[in-house]
Structure 1
């Protein structure tokens, strides 16, 4: 929303989205490395303290450097509808986490039912309630681009976050790498994402989002599938590095295309909410992906001391890539038939 308000639609906006994606990738890679260093030196709990510090620095920087924009007076927020929607999203993620745990099925089903009830309450309250503004106008979800971006973003980050959660575990548990070294080993994916995102930003204005999105999804899934060929003694320069580079290029092509797709046919004043829908779907996929894929990996059997087996890793990678292809590609194809 900030980028679209600062840069008008055209080449500069596409380039800005590419720079945004490249910066995001660079910070992601830095987080993997720094997280491994902090975990190895001080323990994993200090990683969360680092997150709080990063949030505080970002908030100060936002107040200092971001443009103030314009204030629009609206009615009070529909607190009941907003609470129901937020509760439905949170309960969905919690239910997925519980479902992956032994014996967690009944409670997961109860939480999922509560999530459905919360979503139904939000939907029933409609666009407004007594003049109050809603957190999310349900009519926005009827926009093809918003729906497509939300579906693809959820599946995309289910695959990406889940598989990149498991890969350092493979490097540590199967290959015996220390946490900091495993973080450095995964860094090439961020370099590939950053480079591809800058290229994607330039191609967007001539090719449009659809071919970039389809190509990015195929490469992302293909790179994850390459990790299924990694064995206990496979060289790092083999399937691991190749998969990191291929999936990184795919992510760099796909992410700006997802962002642009989510803003198609949306009025300028609704860009903030439309981009928030995509970001929320992204976070849902990121929250569910690691726990579901870890549960799939555990179903094959542990290697001992709570560690995942090599076969479990392979099954989880295959499941992540398959879901991305089965969900993401049909959604992208439907976008094309609508004139995308």
Structure 2
């Protein structure tokens, strides 16, 4: 087409569809996210807040030295052992209902724990706190995933959740020490009471109930076998970490747990309305996604244990200085949780898992070069920061993967499986790495730090190798389709592949 001067003017091309931009969150959605993430952060803090205070608790309440570990163990057992059961119960009987019940139990048990003057009462309070954690965590996650459709917004809130969960473990260790030194270890319980009151005041107003129209029957045989199996596994891992892997109690518990989980698998194949539908167990996104998440938690939590030994036993840092050194790792995990949604939007959740684990493997692998000089603290800080960012990218990728393509009526199950992977991973990492350190230490006479360093670097090498191997397995077996759909806002449908078994 030409103008009046005879010049040719190109015809305008037809306009393409306008670029879509997600609307900002509504006030109600912000309140939903705030309430659910606050509850999750509080429960993450509870995992570590009493560890520093255990000696003081033993003196004040009257624990014998050999029974003091039950303050932590009783909580971890229930939090990990019952999470899959309660995740499915949330689907069947209502996620909002279970979330609120769990918060009530958390508040009451925390009040009782803060007032406890005998070991039995304190242990009972910690058991109830663990049960509350098993209720609230999968219910809160499934409320998050059902409140936001598959896409960038869900990835964003899961990233925030991952960042706060990771920050909670670090914050718990620091906060426990501060509260114990300045006030009393009892305030570690009382804080939960205040949080529970606030959550219960707001949550019933902003959270909508979600459950299927037809209530399925609870699979009692499946519930019993999987709960007892997980309890036996977690207890066996705990005993192995405290005593040794040759301890008869630890071995029997692990064998019993494995046998019960095999029975559970057989039950689920034949029950009419299983606790965990067999079709869910055979999805690659569920199986391999949860495996990747399990290893992500195994490696990073156990690395903190290894580096704590390095800082205190090799570099002679005080407990306070060692704790402050991990603030860099905490900052890395928070940043990782914030950038993870952008990474997932760009490359998909599968590649976020693979890339995150690969970077974590490199960062962790560099720590095998740690030495006995204090100059190596620079390497430790840089490597843990980078590794923390990468670890959270992988963790958020895992959470997005295992909840994508899952119908709303099974979101409690999906988040229950994810929470189980998280809590078993946290429990499993330390005893595994501790066994490696013990098996490889050959202390030199007069230079004990050299022998400890040998064991630590061997365990760190295994830690990095686990990250690398898991990245390879995730790249091989995870399907891209279920992840790449996240780049489309509001994508839905079951795009996951099923395993051939």
Normalising by structure 1, we get a TM-score of: 0.86
CA distance in 1, matches of 2:432, 2:240: 8
- Alpha-carbon shift at residue 241 of structure 1 (Å): 0.7
Is 1:170–1:313's contact at 8 Å kept on the other side of the alignment?
Answer: yes
Match of 1:4 in 2: 145
2:268 aligned counterpart, secondary structure: coil
Distance (Å, rounded) in 2 between the aligned partners of 1:288 and 1:91:
12
Is residue 94 of structure 1 aligned with residue 231 of structure 2? Answer: no
**Matching of residues 201-220 of structure 1 within 5 Å:** 201-220=341-360
Within 2, Cα distance between the matches of 1:26 and 1:338?
A: 31
How far apart in 1 are the matches of 2:253 and 2:290?
22
Residue of structure 1 in register with 2:200 after alignment: 63
Residue in structure 2 matching 1:271, options 411, 431, 454:
411
**Given the alignment, which residue of 112, 115, 120 partners 2:257?**
115
State the shift of 1:317 in Å: 0.9
Please give the residue correspondences for 1:65-214 in structure 2 after superposition, counting only pairs within 5 Å.
65-66=202-203, 67-72=207-212, 74-99=215-240, 101-102=243-244, 104-126=246-268, 129=271, 134-214=274-354
Unaligned runs of 5+ in 2: 1-141, 484-501
The corresponding residue for 1:229 is 369
C-alpha distance in 1, partners of 2:439/2:465?
A: 18
Q: Paired residue for 2:473, among 324, 330, 336?
A: 330
CA apart distance, 1:57 = 4.6
1:262 corresponding residue in structure 2: 402
Alignment-derived partner of residue 18 in structure 1: 159
* Cα distance change on mapping 1:215 and 1:174 into 2, 3 Å: same
SS of aligned partner of 1:266: coil
Aligned length in residues: 334
For residues 135-166 of structure 1, give each alpha carbon's deviation from its aligned partner in whole angstroms, at most 9, with x where no partner exists: 43333111111111111011111111111122
Give deviations 1:281-313, integer Å, cap 9, x for gaps. 121121111011011112233769999811111
**Contact map agreement 2:353 2:474 (CA 8 A) in 1:** no
What SS is found at the alignment partner of 1:166? helix
1:258 deviates by 0.6
Q: CA deviation at 1:189?
A: 1.1
Residues 314 and 50 of structure 1, relative CA distance in 2, 3 Å threshold: farther
CA root-mean-square deviation: 3.1
The answer to whether the Cα contact below 8 Å between 1:222 and 1:246 also exists between their aligned partners in 2 is: no
Q: 1:50 to 1:313 in 2, by over 3 A?
A: farther
- Rounded to whole Å, the distance in 1 between the matches of 2:373 and 2:195 is 42
Name which of 303, 308, 315 aligns with 2:458. Answer: 315
* 1:36-51 paired onto structure 2 within 5 Å: 36-37=177-178
Does the CA-based 8 Å contact 2:145-2:411 persist in structure 1?
yes
Where 2:326 maps in the other structure, the secondary structure is helix
| Cα distance between partner residues in 2 of 1:171 and 1:41 | 25
**Bigger mean CA offset, 154-163 vs 136-145:** 136-145
Whichever of the two has the greater Rg, that structure is 2
Paired position in structure 1 for 2:9 = none
Task: Indicate how the Cα distance of structure 1 residues 237 and 176 shifts in structure 2: closer, same or farther if over 3 A, else same.
Answer: closer
Q: Map Cα deviations across residues 37-69 of structure 1 (whole Å, 9 max, x no partner).
A: 4677899xxxx8666455545544443333142
Following TM superposition, by how much is the alpha carbon of 1:191 offset from its aligned partner in structure 2, in angstroms?
0.9
The C-alpha deviation readout for 1:7-66, integer Å capped at 9, x for no partner, is 2222222221222222223323322323454677899xxxx8666455545544443333
Give TM-score scaled by structure 2 length. Answer: 0.60
Structure 1: state its 5+ residue gaps.
Answer: none
Q: More displaced, 253-262 or 84-93?
A: 84-93
CA distance in 2, matches of 1:9, 1:336: 17
